[in-house]
Each structure stands twice: as C-alpha cells, then as structure tokens.
Structure 1
Amino acid sequence: MNIKPIPPVAKIIPHKLVKHKHTRIDDYYWFNDRENPEVIDYLNKENEYYHSVTADTKVFQEELFEEMKSRIKEDDQSVPYFYNGYYYITRFEKGQNYPIYSRKKETLSAAEEILFDCNELAKGQSYFHLGGLSVSLDNCKALFSIDVVGRRIYTIQIKNLLTGELLSDTIKNVTGTAVWANDNQTIFYSCQDQVTLRSDKIFKHKLGTSQEEDVLVYFEKDETFNVEIAKSKSNKYLAIESGSTLTTEYQILDANTPDEKFRLFQKRVRGLEYSINHYGDSFYILTNKDEAENFKLMKTPETATSKENWVEVIPHRADVLLEDIEIFKNFLVLEERANGLNTIKIIPWNGDEAYYLPFESETYTASASTNVDFDTDILRYSYQSLATPSSVIDFNMKTKEKVVLKEQQVLGGKFDKNNYKEERVWATARDGVKVPISLVYKKELVKDGKNPLLQYAYGSYGYSIDASFSSTRLSLLDRGFIFAIAHIRGGEDLGRNWYETGKLLQKKNTFTDFIDCSEFLIQEKYTSPEHLYAEGGSAGGLLMGAVVNMAPNLYNGIIAQVAFVDVVTTMLDESIPLTTGEYDEWGNPNQKKYYEYMLSYSPFDNVVAQDYPNMYISTGLHDSQVQYWEPAKWVAKLRVMKTDSNLLFLDTNMDAGHGGASGRFEALKELAKEFSFLLELEKIKN
C-alpha cells in the first residue's frame, strides 16, 4: 500500500508588526532565526517531503542531468585575450566542476602557467567560488578571493606567480573586490558591514603587513549607498565609486601614488548618475546630467572634473539608451539599445564616418566582450540568439573584417539551429503600452493552444533580459515546449523610461505586464492556461509571487527561485543586507504611501484562500541577497491558505546562497529538478 507523503505544517507563533498605526500578524516570523534548531528542522522536513513526493522522478532527473551535461564540451576553454605581455585563458577539464585559470607569455605557443586550479582549491568544500582575480602590473603576483559558504563573504590572498607560493597576507571578511596600485606592493579593497553586508569601507593594504595594520581610506556613512574600488582601463587611476539606485559619486587617485589622498571627481547630487572612463588627458563620462534620461556621453579634462567642466560628446536621444562605451586609441565604441535591441556603434576619432555593426535577427544579444587593450583596432564582441549559440568575434574597426574566434559547441550531434523558429511579438498591456515578447520553439510546432510554454521574466533594477542561447533549454524545446521572455517594465529593455515606469509607486506595471503577456500568448493560441508555466528568480521571484496572487488561474505551474516575497517586512528591517540601498527601487515603507503601496502587492502579505498553481520554490540557507526565510514563510502560509490539492514544494539548498550550487555540473542538477517538475506536469516521461 502506498502511503501518500504528508506535507509539513509549520508551527504558528503570531508576531505583531505595527507601522503607521496598522497592524500585521506574521505567524512565521520565528523563521528569521537561523540558529533556531526548529527552523532547520522545518527546512529539512520540507526537503524530505519534496524528495519523497518526487521519488519516482529521480531517474528522469538523472537522465535530464546527463542529457544536459552531454551537450556541454567538458574540456572547453575561453578565447584567449592578450594583456600586459600575456595571453590569459580560462579552461575546463573533462569531469571537473570548476575552471582552471592560466596564462601564456607573449605567444599562444608558450608554456602554460597555471594561475589557479579551482578544482584543487575547492576540494573538501560543499560550496566554492573564486572571485576578485587580479594580476599585478609587474606580472609577478596575483590577488584572489574565495567564498566557501555562498554568502558572498570572501577571504583575499596573494599568490607569488614566480614561485607558486602563497604570501602570508590574508584579508578576511571582505567583499572580494580588490585592485593593485602601480607599485605592485599596495592593494585597495572593499569591506562590508558584518551585519547588513552593505559594502561601506575601502581599505589600503601593504604587502607583508597584517590586516589589523590596514588603513581605512574611505567610509561611506550613507546607508543607502554601497562602495567599490576599481582601476581605469588606462591603468593610470584608481577610482572609488559610491553608488545608490539613483545617485553616484567618484573619487580618483593616481595609481602611481597610492599613499596620496583620493580627490573628489564630482560630488554627489541626488538623481545625478555618472560613470567615468579615462583616456589620454581626459575623462569620458556616461551620465544622465540635465535630465538625459537615456544617458549621454560627456568629456572633461583630468585636471578639472566637476560637472561644470563637462562638455557634450554624444547627445541624449529619446529613442536610444546609451548603455556603455569602450575606448580605444583610434575608435570610440558605443553600446546602445534601440527598440529593445542591442546595437554597437563604431566612431573613429579621426572624423571618418561612424557606422553600426549589422545584426539581422530580432531575438539576439550582442555586447562588447573582453577589450583590455587600448592600442588596437580590434573590437572583441559576443553574439547569440535564442536559437544561435554564443560566438566570440574579433572585428577590425578599420578594415571592417570580422573573424569568428569561437562558437559555443553543442555536443551530441542532434542540434541544428535551423530546426528552431525565433520570433518577437508585441502584447498590448492594459494601459495600452506595447510589451515585446521573444519566443523560440521547434519549427514544426502548431499554434493550437495545446503547447506547453515556459514564460520567463525579471522586471526590476533596470536589468534587461536579452534573448540569449541556452543548450540546457533544448531539453524543453525538443520535448515540445515554447520558451518566452516577457520584456516587461522594470527592466530597461525599451529605454530608461521602461525602468522608471516599473518601480516605486508604479511597480504593479511589472506584474500586470507579465499577466497581459500571458493572456496574449493564450489568445494567440501559443498555449493555454492548462499548459502555461511561469518562472522567475530573486526579484523575478517577487514577480512570481505577485502574479499567482493576482491571476492564479492563468498558470498550471510556477517556478520561483530565491524569491523576494516578504517585501514590507524586509524593507522595514535595516539590519538585512540590501534593505537601505533599495529604497529608491521599492520605496521606503517608513513613509506611509510606500508602506501602503508595497503592502498592496507584497506576495506574502497577499496570500489568500484560493486555488494556486503547482509551485516549485527553491532557496539557499546562506543566501545574502534574499534571506531563506522569505520563501520558507511564503510556503508555510500557502500550505495553510490554499484551497487546491496542487503540488507545492520548498527545496532548500543547505550548502548554498543566492546563486545556488557552485560548480557547473551541480548547477545542472538543480535545473534538472525544475525541468522534471514541468515535464511531470505535462505528463512527458522521457
């Protein structure tokens, strides 16, 4: 006799939360204590329940894992790039989870020097991430940082590249971001508050000294700002960036004189955003100065950097978002976005006619790649589409010749990009705005409303989701799924205004755009509510939570990863990482108008007694971005409130953080869980 697993029911301990004379009762507030054994016990019971219910899919999950793994070239390597006398390469070996970083002196035929073998460094660790890799200007030393928990708290060490030995210098509990001064003896690094994890300090470290002797160079007092340290492409300047959602401020220092004081580039002015690039005797500034919503490019002498000295180079354009620039000795390269698509514009410094790189598809991604050398006419860029694997291309800006250096290999012998159809369609939102949707599916597919469709979106922080290729996604496409990206407001897909009208007191546009895209896809017979699935992670998990409260009948299943769902409580808790720095994104609920608006959509607060779709919700115990208790509380409340018998899973990785499992193959196992969830609901068994 089969005994049906019983889902765990969390203990209810009512906790009163009062703000603006309004009272909320949180029955699961006690989840917030990660040291409480009962919390860990509940998470483990949810995991046991998930594994018990899905036990009969374990073989299928393993098959999906092997299938996705088989498409990956295991002994792969990056296209080498040349910098300061060396070619740098990242490569993987067959069967290994982690990359190997190496270099070759002057020519690619030179002997390989292994800088870091992450497979060796990761031995004995359930989680591993190498960050902050930086080689000194004399090529003799490399600093690197390691996180073995997944909470993005790193330890910096320095390796002697000539002897292979590690120096005694160890810098603990830092962000992992660090740069060398030009004396090859001084390091600047950023450090976070140990409670909130806000990056708030820049320190200076001299080789051979202890961390206790490090000098505090800058402390960011404003809790809505984060700081980081970087070095200009020209290697002449070190720059401290203080940034919030709406405002930036830079301080600069000649990298040859690390013991001097940083000087202010342009003091912060609320609403003024800018970034700096050094070239020759000038700085080029990407900025929204003077209400340039889509940004413009300006220039100023390195000796006079305040904004009254800035001179316009590329004016603001209402229909083109200027996203980034690359500076070369003979060319300026603009990365732009028009009508939701990437463009790359080449401008010769000598006054010759500017031109755009030609791209023909409507569902592609193109962006500048690794371009560390000033004195070259070669622009390296990457290109991919929903059906076209990623390519790395060297383009000669003078002769206009291009060389495809590498196209991502899809192994297994079955893949042919001509077997798939890509298209971009436009849904009409309820307020009349047109929202683009990128689609990919097998060519022979018939639009009869019976196709399973996975709709994905993010929709926050001005982050645009471009149409990129995924070899793992083929496991869905080849089984009849359509994959759709809804380019909803809250991203910058259609310019800065697309972002501005999807945040703060207009945040609900993000959710209704997604729902309206779903209804369009159903209306156009791509799919139906019985076969429509939705996916989002982090702030996209907030989107999932809002959507299932508002329109649960549209979806058969939902995947929500590391979901930010307890919006009001989190944004009122200034001890939680990210909170204070995000007031300009979500609003400050200490102000009543924001409190009430956020409360009106916060997924956790708006769970009601109704039928919900099948739901697979994942999180990581050590997540520093979205604390594990948010999805855990959400699931606990759904278990009590929902009126259906649909699947509801909480899957907690007890060894990982916001990014999930580390290692390229461990991450595939998590994806296999998600895919098996969808395929099981579609009754697709192989």
Structure 2
Amino acid sequence: MFICSESISRTERIPMTSMPKAQQKKYEHIYHGKAFQDNYHWLRQENWTQDTGVTDPEILSYIEAENTYTKQYFDQYKDLTNSIYQELLESIDVDDETYPVIKDDYAYFSKTLKGKNYDQHWRTHLPTSKTELLIDENVLAEKLDYFSLQIFSVSPDHRYIATAYDKDGSERLVLKILDTKTMEFLLLELTHVSGNGFVWLNDCSGFYYQKVDENWRANQVFYYDFLSAIHDMAVEEKCVFKEDDVTNHVNIRKSADKQHMFIDVRDPKDNIVYVHNLDDKEFKLYTPLPRKTNIKYDLESAERDWIIMTNDKGPNKRLLSVKKSDTQAINLKAVVEIATLNDTSALIDYAVYASHIVYTGKKKGLPFLKIWDRKIRSTKDIPFNMESFTLNLQQTEYNDSKARISLSNLIQPSATRLIDLKTGNQAVVKQREVPNFKTENYVTKRLEAPSKDGVFIPYTLAYKKGIDLNTAPTYLYGYGSYGYPIDPNFRATFLPLLNKGYVVVIAHIRGGGDLGRAWYEAAKLKTKKKTFDDFIACAEHLIKTNHAQKGNITIAGGSAGGMLVGATLNMRPDLFKSALAMVPFVDVINTMMDATLPLTPGEYHEWGNPEDKAYFDYMLTYAPYDNVTAQNYPAIYVSSGINDPRVTYWEPTKWVAKLRNLKTDNNILLLDTEMGAGHGGPSGKFGYLMETAKQHTFVFKS
C-alpha cells in the first residue's frame, strides 16, 4: 500500500500532486543477534528470481505510481527535454563508420546511420572489393522493446558469425549463428548464454561459450558440436568446465596467436588461468601458473613464449616473457622482464604481436605507451602531445605490423591511430567528427585535492571559455570501486552541460583504478570510506579553487557510483544542489547478507563478508540505505531497471521510499524505473539519449 500526498519543490512551475509515499510495514532482520528494522522490506518480491520477475500487484502499483509522478515532473519541461535531446542528436546521431579491422582477406567494420537506433555490421572482401552487410541490428531489434548485441564472433573460415543478444535487460542472451553464404540465420538457438566470452575452434567444427545459471552466475563453460549440428544431427550442449566457488568469476577467450583457449577464474584478490590447446581434439586443461593468494596475472600466448602481466612483486605489476616448456609449467625464475616493477607507474594493459609487445600504463594517473621488440629486446617510448587524456589499446591480429589505439580527452573527440611497431611512427586514420563542436572553444585542466588523510586526489575538469567561474554551476561525476578507472575521455553527452555553462568534473578517487592497482587497494573492504572522503575532498577543493560554489554542485554516479552518491549525500548534503543516482547499489547490508542473490558471494572481496561482524559493523557506518536520516537533502533523481540482475530493482525503490519518509526538505525526489530494461537502462541510441536528456533536464531545473 502507498499513500498519495501533495508536493511542491523549489524548482517546479506548477504544484505536483500524487507524490507516492510507501506504507511502512514492520519487518526485522536479525543480524549478529540484533534486530534491524526494515520497514520497506515488503518492496522486495518474495521468492524473486529473474525468471519470475515482479508479480506482486502492491509492489507494481507503487513502482507505477512513482513512474507516474516522475512523468508528471518531466511533462512540465517537455520543451527543454526535447531541446536537449535534439542537441544530443546533432552531436551523436550522424552517419559514421568505424575504422576497419583486417582479418585475413576481409575488412570488418560497423556503421551508425542517422535516424537508425542500432548499428550495422559490414565487411569488404579485399581481393574483390566486394562489400556486404552482415548484420543489421535494427532488423534484429524490430519486434523487441529492448535489444543489446553483446557477442559478434566471426568463424576462422569467415563463413559463420556467432551473435548473442539481450532482449530484456536481464543479461541472459540468445545465441544464433548467421551463415554468410546464404545470409540466413541457422535454426540453432541457444538461450541463457553469457556475454563473458565466445571461442571458435580453429577448424570451425565447434565452439565454446558460457551460460548463466539460475542465480545469474556465469560459472560454466559449454562446448557445442557445430559440425554435427549443421549436418542435422542431434546435438546437446556439453558442459566442459564448472567453477564451484561462487566468489569467483569465469571468462573465456582465444589467445592472440589463436593456439589456445584461456579459462580465467578470478576474484578481486587472485586468479588462475586454465589453458586448452585448440588443436587438441580431446578437451584437456592445464595450468601453466598455479593460483597463489593475493597474486593476479594475465596470460597471453606468442607462439613459443608466454607473455604474463602480474602483481607478484608489487601492485603496479611487471610484464614478463618466458619460453614455453614441455612440462607446460612456467618457471618465473627464468623470465625476461619486458617491463619491471616501478613504484611510480602502474602497468594497465598489453597487446601481443608476432614481432613486438605493446603495453600501456599510467604515471601519476596519465597514460603512457611503450613497444618492446621481441627479437632485440629493446623498448621504445611513444610520445603523445596531449594534456590529461585517455588511451585505449586495441588488440588486433597477431601478425599485424601496426598497433591500434584510440586517444581522446574531455574536449577532444576520439582519434584512432595506427602505430608502426618498428618505427613508432603514428598516423591518425580515423578522427571522430562532432557537428557544431570546436575543441578550441573549451578548456580542460587536471587538478589535485587533498583528501582527509592527506593523500592528493586528482580530478579532471572542463568548461567552455568565457563562462564566469564565480557563478558557474558544477557537475561532479565519480565511481571509485572494483578498480575500474573513470578516464577523462570525450563524451558528447557532456556537451549540453558544457554549453549551458557548467564546469564538468571527473573525480579520480581511490577504489577505482585511475592510478593503478594500489589506488584501488587503498579504498576497499575496511578502508572503503576513503572513496567517499575523496569525493567530498574534490567537491571542497573545487569550491576552494573557484571552480564551484557550495550548494551549486550536482553529483552523479551509477551502480557502485550510485552508492558513492548515496553515501556522500548522507555525509555532506549541504555541499550539493542536486544528485543523479543511476541504478544505485544502496541497500548494502541487506544485499551482502543474502548469499542467494546473483552477485553477493562474488562481492565479498570488494566490500567484505558481513557474516563477519567486523565487516558488518564497518559496512553499517556507510551503507546509504541504513544511514538515511532526518535532514535536508538536495534534489535527487534515481533510476532503476525492473530486470536488473546486478542492482535489483528493490534497492533504489526502498531507498527512495525511506528518503521520502525521513528527509526534512521540500526538494524534488524522483524514482524512474524502466519496466522493460536492466542495469544499462533503455537500449538503443535513441533510448539512451532520451534518458540522458531527462537527466540533464533534472540537473538544469533542480
């Protein structure tokens, strides 16, 4: 049951009615012998699974009432939202195509077409110059409310293309195979497929893939006898590997030299890689390196050598080359160090080629790239004349003579570059064009804020030249978990903010991987609150350096970044004007105490296992839902997805209900639940841009 009441916020042009207010129903969780009241527990569907979904009419009624209230709010600002949407369309909805990837005699590329919601996938046969359309996502999505293509894998003989797509946001994919000879899909259809990886056998006779179980855990690897299937023989999916430890994640991929399939089993602390030689007819696994506590490594194959990136000597990692042996075991005492451990720079990624190894890293949070010659064992530094930028390395074909990267920053659209492996010479082969945008009209800076413990936290900002920084509003974005970096890459979705005079800021806070592994390790488990301290420190430093004013800052984050927003709002609501919390992980205690939920066991290494009272007590000090209090909060816009397997719908729903009951202000609070989507929000270009337009509308009007 919910109650309707009137609400008038400081930002509304007309009074809004029918503000939902969820009924409180007494419910107690007993944790560590103590009762914890959770009056909105009823908003969680009893015996919920992704397959059953939400069926309780009372819960659905409340969510629909919240959606109606949100729609009523945005209906007041339709003209503004449409104007922002059109501005976004002008920047993003253009005819474009990717720079091709060359595989044997074919060049593969994708196209985006103006007025089309999804991409098209094409190829050109280089000897004949024949170009053909392979997959039009718009056709596949035609009868679906939601569509996301997550696997596109070309068979080694280039005849077949494996596709797997999500049709409801649940991240349980449908796998189908296109025969490019007939341009028809085969009758084969596999369900509950994971997007974690797909590997063709080199002779195209079969393939490996992953499936999610009833708890949405992709802990199994399957083999499918494709050759038998296309000859109309009955074929069953064959499970060839299963990881029983639910705290681990499993991914599969083919090695760069195409000799092996790797099954990588890892948690945030350590991992092990199982290897299957793809030329072996019998499925056999071996482990070149054993699993060791707190040691992580990435493995690649370069014909006679293994290439390994590992933190065995320190969190910033080193990069190694070692000869393969008949025993299949790697001797780390007989390695060649491609890149040694460095206290001031962290290794991030690498790509393996027949003649060279290309690797990237960060020094003081800024990217670098180096090329190592495998024959003469020498290293070449590749310079980049940019301030505060993002560098992405893309593994291309093993025998290529050039590496492929993309570069951008907050005010420079991405450029694809090819780097000659021998000379290091760079060539821009694709520059993204953004209509009505000129880099020279904007400014970007990188500054550092002293956090609570004295550590300096970098942040990158951008604004349009000529704005008055004494009055300009500020948009501050952060994430800060799982070691994921939030790099200052170009985002056309920021342009409406910049063009309205906002200072746009990305905070490179601890808990993320912005400065390498040690930066991540510094804010997790029982030091997690440093992430929130860092975010607050960035806001305060922006105010101090005249890039923001107290009470005129919007903060934003999604998923674990939504937890960042929720925790920060509880700690320092006075700093902020408004907040965007997208699919926020906010009901931390109740989620982490429920091991039946899809992600919970795998999260213990990030937040701790609250069955241990010490971790429970620490989580309780920052969990956003549990720390909502009777105080003033800024305007808040919260999004959710009814099919979300990562942050289940009831987390943001309960949080909003509790905020409505306890907050002491009249600022607007909105919950917007996508009823046919999941963690990623609406699918397609247009759905994404409309969601962004609504967010910007809220920012401008709150």
Q: Name the TM-score class by shorter chain.
A: over 0.9
Matching of residue 441 in structure 1 with residue 463 in structure 2: yes
CA distance in 2, matches of 1:353, 1:257: 35
Which residue does the alignment assign to 1:183? 203
Q: Is the 8 A contact 1:186 1:204 kept in 2?
A: yes
Comparing 542-551 and 10-19, the one that deviates more = 10-19
CA distance in 2, matches of 1:211, 1:383: 48
- SS of 2:621 mapped into structure 1: helix
CA deviations over 1:164-196 (Å, ceiling 9, x no partner): 2222322111214321111211111111221x2
Comparing 514-523 and 537-546, the one that deviates more = 514-523
Counterpart pick for 1:297 among 319, 326, 350: 319
- SS of 1:223 mapped into structure 2: coil
Matching of residue 134 in structure 1 with residue 153 in structure 2: yes
For residues 430 and 373 of structure 1, do their structure 2 counterparts lie closer, same or farther at Cα, with a shift above 3 Å needed? Answer: same
Matching of residue 83 in structure 1 with residue 103 in structure 2: yes
Structure 2: which amino acid aligns with 1:359? Answer: F
CA deviations over 1:642-674 (Å, ceiling 9, x no partner): 000001000111111111111112100000001
CA distance in 2, matches of 1:415, 1:116: 31
CA distance in 2, matches of 1:464, 1:312: 29
**How far is 1:212 from its partner?**
6.9
**How far is 1:326 from its partner?**
1.1
Q: Is the 8 A contact 2:467 2:501 kept in 1?
A: yes
Which residue does the alignment assign to 1:608? 629
Comparing 471-480 and 312-321, the one that deviates more = 312-321
**How far is 1:267 from its partner?**
3.0
**How far is 1:53 from its partner?**
2.3
Which residue does the alignment assign to 2:662? 641
Which residue does the alignment assign to 2:219? 200
Counterpart pick for 2:409 among 362, 385, 388: 385
Within 5 Å, give how 1:334-345 maps onto structure 2: 334-345=359-370
Counterpart pick for 2:521 among 500, 504, 508: 500
**How far is 1:43 from its partner?**
0.9
Counterpart pick for 1:559 among 570, 580, 593: 580
Q: Is the 8 A contact 2:16 2:72 kept in 1?
A: no
Unpaired runs of at least 5, structure 2: 1-12, 46-53
Q: Is the 8 A contact 1:156 1:170 kept in 2?
A: yes
Which residue does the alignment assign to 1:65? 85
CA distance in 1, matches of 2:178, 2:311: 41
- SS of 1:82 mapped into structure 2: strand
For residues 307 and 353 of structure 1, do their structure 2 counterparts lie closer, same or farther at Cα, with a shift above 3 Å needed? Answer: closer
Matching of residue 547 in structure 1 with residue 572 in structure 2: no
Which residue does the alignment assign to 2:536? 515
**How far is 1:338 from its partner?**
0.7
CA deviations over 1:483-517 (Å, ceiling 9, x no partner): 01111110122222211111000000000110011
- SS of 1:113 mapped into structure 2: strand
Which residue does the alignment assign to 2:9? none
Matching of residue 218 in structure 1 with residue 230 in structure 2: no
CA distance in 1, matches of 2:114, 2:517: 43
Q: Is the 8 A contact 1:73 1:410 kept in 2?
A: no
- SS of 2:20 mapped into structure 1: coil
Q: Is the 8 A contact 2:256 2:353 kept in 1?
A: no
Q: Is the 8 A contact 2:483 2:511 kept in 1?
A: yes
Which residue does the alignment assign to 1:657? 678
Which residue does the alignment assign to 1:533? 554
Structure 1: which amino acid aligns with 2:167? Answer: V
CA distance in 2, matches of 1:647, 1:344: 47
**How far is 1:307 from its partner?**
4.8
Matching of residue 4 in structure 1 with residue 22 in structure 2: no
- SS of 2:21 mapped into structure 1: coil
CA distance in 2, matches of 1:567, 1:53: 29
Within 5 Å, give how 1:365-514 maps onto structure 2: 365-369=390-394, 371-411=395-435, 414-448=436-470, 450-514=471-535
**How far is 1:2 from its partner?**
6.1
Matching of residue 587 in structure 1 with residue 608 in structure 2: yes
- SS of 1:513 mapped into structure 2: helix
CA deviations over 1:193-238 (Å, ceiling 9, x no partner): 21x2111111111024489722211110111012122111111111
Which residue does the alignment assign to 2:306? 283
CA deviations over 1:130-168 (Å, ceiling 9, x no partner): 122111111111111121011100111112111122223
CA distance in 1, matches of 2:377, 2:251: 37
- SS of 1:71 mapped into structure 2: helix
CA distance in 1, matches of 2:422, 2:331: 35
Structure 2: which amino acid aligns with 1:151? Answer: S
Q: Is the 8 A contact 1:531 1:555 kept in 2?
A: yes
Q: TM-score, normalized by length of structure 2?
A: 0.93
Number of residues paired by the alignment?
Answer: 674
CA distance in 1, matches of 2:571, 2:328: 49
Counterpart pick for 1:52 among 69, 72, 81: 72
Counterpart pick for 1:31 among 43, 64, 80: 43
- SS of 1:570 mapped into structure 2: helix
Q: Is the 8 A contact 1:249 1:265 kept in 2?
A: no
Which residue does the alignment assign to 1:676? 697
Counterpart pick for 1:332 among 357, 367, 375: 357
Q: Is the 8 A contact 2:566 2:586 kept in 1?
A: yes
CA distance in 1, matches of 2:427, 2:234: 47
Structure 2: which amino acid aligns with 1:363? Answer: S
Structure 1: which amino acid aligns with 2:518? Answer: N
CA deviations over 1:557-596 (Å, ceiling 9, x no partner): 0001000000011111112121111111000001010000
Which residue does the alignment assign to 2:346? 321
Structure 2: which amino acid aligns with 1:329? Answer: A
CA distance in 2, matches of 1:354, 1:3: 66
CA distance in 2, matches of 1:15, 1:258: 57
**How far is 1:375 from its partner?**
2.1
Structure 2: which amino acid aligns with 1:271? Answer: N
- SS of 2:94 mapped into structure 1: coil
Which residue does the alignment assign to 1:357? 382
Which residue does the alignment assign to 1:15? 27
Q: TM-score, normalized by length of structure 1?
A: 0.96
Which residue does the alignment assign to 1:667? 688
- SS of 2:673 mapped into structure 1: strand
- SS of 2:413 mapped into structure 1: coil
Identity %: 35
Q: Is the 8 A contact 1:347 1:354 kept in 2?
A: yes
Structure 1: which amino acid aligns with 2:533? Answer: T
Q: Is the 8 A contact 2:475 2:504 kept in 1?
A: yes
Unpaired runs of at least 5, structure 1: 682-686
Which residue does the alignment assign to 1:684? none
Counterpart pick for 1:232 among 223, 245, 255: 255
Which residue does the alignment assign to 1:568? 589
CA distance in 1, matches of 2:454, 2:314: 25
CA distance in 2, matches of 1:256, 1:671: 48
**How far is 1:36 from its partner?**
1.0
Q: Is the 8 A contact 2:275 2:286 kept in 1?
A: yes
Structure 2: which amino acid aligns with 1:645? Answer: N
CA distance in 2, matches of 1:574, 1:211: 38
Matching of residue 94 in structure 1 with residue 119 in structure 2: no
Q: Is the 8 A contact 1:98 1:663 kept in 2?
A: yes
CA distance in 1, matches of 2:283, 2:192: 26
CA distance in 1, matches of 2:310, 2:651: 36
